[in-house]
Amino acid sequence: MTHSHEELPLADQGGCGDGCACGDGEGYETGLDPQLAELLEAAGLDPIEVEDVATLALAEDLAGGEDVTSVATVPAEAVATADFTARSAGVVAGLRIAEAVVSLVCEEEFEVERHVEDGDRVEAGQVLLSIRSRTRDLLTAERSALNLLCHLSGIATATRAWADALEGTGAVVRDTRKTTPGLRALEKFAVRCGGGANHRMALSDAALVKDNHVIAAGGVAEAFRAVRAAYPDLTVEVEVDTLEQIPPVLEAGAELILLDNFSVEQLKEAVALVAGRARLEASGGLTLADARAVGETGVDFIAVGELTHSSPILDIGLDLRA
């Protein structure tokens, strides 16, 4: 269940101070600072969705109460500067999302200093983002902000490794719908930060005819023709698992074919068989060690579900300045 701000023990108003050069933007129905909302939208994120995720994360952490440790140990008037610092090298994603989390907690205006941008490569020990505000608020927001920032940066880092391995081959690494419920838009944003491309965001964006659809329709070509007849303007991708299935799919008019669990040699044969008449995507059991060999077969895309469902976090911490 998504909680409204009124149901949470959060600040009535948050926002950046003069240090982050906030403007007086209008048009966003969120509790986020207008400039921050604009930055999120420019990155392809819905500010309202980001606010909802941040609110839910904080609600889970506070559980209707307060941060008892910080309240007990930190004077209410204490102010500090917190540095979000990389503990290991990688690619960062989610800085503005972490900023949104903090903004929902802060009872006073706060100042933000942005040292890097999403998609930047960072080194261990590098400061990514600095926020000055009430110490209690910073500590209350710390874990929720870091959970999202570390997770998304881990996805971006893993994606960058694939993108680097494929550089020069012409192939592009793409994600799948194997995402964490509620975090799909953020995780796919992290893939983009890492140099990858997004597949469909939802079942309604495009059609992907898979093995169960083929069984239901009575054949690969039959399934493709059924989708094309029902949705003539929609992108349709057809999954095949043998070379023999490719010619009838091509004849039916398929423009994008998913080659499922093909070996490198089979991928080469498929590329030669299709001869540019359709775009090709390799999928199934692919590893980073095989990435370049797969890319060099001539396929257009490589689908990697583990980008969103199995990437380890990038270790990032929050340090209060003495």
Phi and psi torsions of 202, nearest 5°: -150, 170
pLDDT of 1 above 70: no
133-171 pLDDT tens trace: 999 999 999 999 999 999 999 999 999 999 999 999 999
Give the model's confidence band at 35: pLDDT under 50 very low, under 70 low, under 90 confident, else very high. very high
Residues spanned by the domain of 173: 163-309
pLDDT of 314 above 70: yes
Task: DSSP for 176-203, please give it.
Answer: -S---TT-HHHHHHHHHHTT-B---SST
Long-range contacts of 211-215 (CB under 8 A, 24+ apart): 211/239, 211/241, 211/260, 214/239
Tell me: do 105 and 139 sit in the same domain: yes
- Assess contact for 292 and 168: CB atoms under 8 A: no
Tell me: do 118 and 176 sit in the same domain: no
Q: How far apart (Å, rounded) are the C-alpha atoms in residues 169 and 313?
A: 28
CATH number at residue 193: 3.20.20.70
Tell me: do 129 and 34 sit in the same domain: yes
Give the model's confidence band at 108: pLDDT under 50 very low, under 70 low, under 90 confident, else very high. confident
Tell me: do 153 and 259 sit in the same domain: no
CATH number at residue 111: 3.90.1170.20
Q: Percentage of the chain with pLDDT > 70?
A: 91
Residues catalogued as catalytic: 143, 178, 210, 239, 260
- Its pTM surpasses 0.75: yes
What is the structure's pLDDT at 29? Answer: 66
285-313 pLDDT tens trace: 899 999 999 999 999 999 999 999 999 99
Phi and psi torsions of 85, nearest 5°: -125, 130
pLDDT of 234 above 70: yes
Tell me: do 204 and 226 sit in the same domain: yes
Q: Which two tokens stand for residue 301?
A: 């895309």
- What is the number of domains present in the chain? 2
- Assess contact for 33 and 112: CB atoms under 8 A: no
Tell me: do 220 and 152 sit in the same domain: no
